[in-house]
Amino acid sequence: MDIKVERVSKEFGGAKALDDVSVDIRPGELLAMLGPSGSGKTTLLRVIAGLESAEQGRVLFGGEDAADRPVQRRGVGFVFQHYALFRHMTVADNIAYGLRSRRRAERPSSAEIVRRVGDLLDLVQLSGLGKRFPAQLSGGQRQRVALARALATEPRVLLLDEPFGALDAKVRKDLRRWLRDIHDQSGKTTIFVTHDQDEALELADRVAILNKGRIEQVGTPDEVYDDPATPFVMSFVGDASTLPVEVVEGHVRLGEVELPAILDPGRVGPGKLYIRPWHVTATKVEGAPPADRLVGTIRTVRRAGEVHRLDVKLQTIEAAIEADAGLADQFAAGDTVALTINKARLF
């Protein structure tokens, strides 16, 4: 099932939650909607589900306008951020709820429902826990019950709102991989909302990045990471330092120092240079610093995964820049270093 969101806008009390948003979701893909809190990502998910109505624009399910279909008949499976399990029902009754809500003619027999619930419990690896109540489960188990419940009605589309937001780091990692497996098995079009860039990049086929109710970029994880369309995407997906620069005669300059960046032809005047820490090499400087190099003083050295991340305060201007250094390199706070920028992006 492909979904088209066409020019959707929505306001909440004068504030624009969604501002002319368009996005195409391809059949069978796993799309992440990534953005900071308040960016409108959850609102967009709820508009697609039919839990909110758009003031302008429309949502198409397989080419058909969804406006005429209330939430009950959109064929969406929705997993809520805090799961919203029915607390007074057992796990099995929670999962069976959707099937039992069907009209008599379409409702499977009780035996069939029991069988389906059993299958789903197996799928989410909770066999034998059907008689428990939600309060007796761990966070990760509740999450899986919520997913089983959403899958029980065989929805056309699966929508997940911050599916791993309330879980601890280890459980979150396991569930990510597991969700990917389930998606690959079922082949269902799936959209999930997250504020966690790692989660989006690791899990999704494509990522839609939202900011202040607008879509900034839609692309594969590689595209948004390596070829960000806007300054916001550059700084939100992956780390980046910024430097105020001047474009003169086809070169990017910061004072006396020339910096690398791909330039649009004819571009002149001030700009902002975005630099990834791993595109910066630091070397120790003894004696007088060279005038044609970027020079600064290390403020802190932090461990960041497999590297040390240096926070360097520049000498010539009021700015700081982050650089990654190998664990073997002996840097300490207070050292003077010269920086070589290997790659950067100008906006």
Partner 1 sequence: MSDAARSDAAKRRRVTASVSSESPAAKWAIIAVAVGFLALFLLLPLVVVFMEALRKGWATYLEAFADPDAQAAIRLTLTVAAIAVPLNIVFGIAASWAIAKFEFQGKSLLITLIDLPFSVSPVVSGLVFVLLFGAQGLFGPWLAAHGVEVVFALPGIVLATVFVTFPFVARELIPLMQSQGTTEEEAALTLGASGLRAFLTVTLPNMRWALLYGVLLCNARAMGEFGAVAVVSGHIRGLTNTMPLHVEILYNEYNFVAAFAVASLLALLAIVTLAVKSFLEWRYGDALAGRTGH
Residues near partner 1 (CB under 8 A) are: 49, 51, 71-73, 76-78, 80, 82, 84-88, 97-98, 101-102, 149-150, 152-153
> Which residue blocks in 161-248 are alpha helix, DSSP H?
169-186, 197-203, 221-226, 231-236
Closest approach of Cβ 78 to partner 1, in Å? 4
Determine phi and psi for 295, rounding to 5 degrees: -125, 145
Could you tell me the smallest distance in angstroms from the CB atom of residue 199 to partner 1? 22
Please give the Cα distance from 47 to 211 (Å, whole number): 17
Residue 91, token pair as written in the block? 């796990």
Cβ at position 219, least distance to partner 1 in Å: 29
Pairing of strands 56-61, 64-65: antiparallel
Beta carbon nearer to partner 1, 188 or 345 = 188
The least CB distance from residue 93 to partner 1, in Å, is 10
Smallest separation (angstroms) from partner 1 to the CB of 134: 10
Beta carbon nearer to partner 1, 160 or 233: 160
SS3 call for 322: strand
How many angstroms separate the first and last alpha carbons of the chain? 37
Residue 207 neighbours by CB under 8 Å, 6+ apart = 31, 32, 33, 34, 200, 201, 217, 218, 219, 220, 221, 224, 237
Q: Would you call 18 exposed, middle or buried from its count of C-beta atoms within 10 A (0-12, 13-18, 19+)?
A: buried
Kindly state the helix (H) or strand (E) to which residue 116 belongs, with its residue range: helix 110-123
**Would you say 88 or 253 has its CB closer to partner 1?**
88
State residue 73 phi and psi, 5-degree precision.
-110, 15
Pick the closer one to partner 1 by CB: 135 or 327: 135
Shortest spacing between CB 158 and partner 1, in angstroms: 11
β-pairing verdict for 214-219 and 269-275: unpaired
- What are 312's two structure tokens? 């360097």
Q: Based on CB atoms, which residue is closest to partner 1, 30 or 79?
A: 79
Q: Tell me the one-letter amino acid at 216.
A: E
For residue 246, the minimal CB distance to partner 1 (Å) is 50
Q: Least separation, in Å, of the C-beta of 145 and partner 1? A: 11
The whole-angstrom separation of Cα 179 and Cα 185 is 10
Report the candidate in 225, 220, 215 with the shortest Cα–Cα distance to residue 40.
215
C-beta closer to partner 1: residue 73 or 115 = 73
- 49 vs 314, which CB is nearer to partner 1? 49
| Closer residue to partner 1 (CB): 71 or 291 | 71
How far out from the chain centre does Cα 220 lie?
A: 11
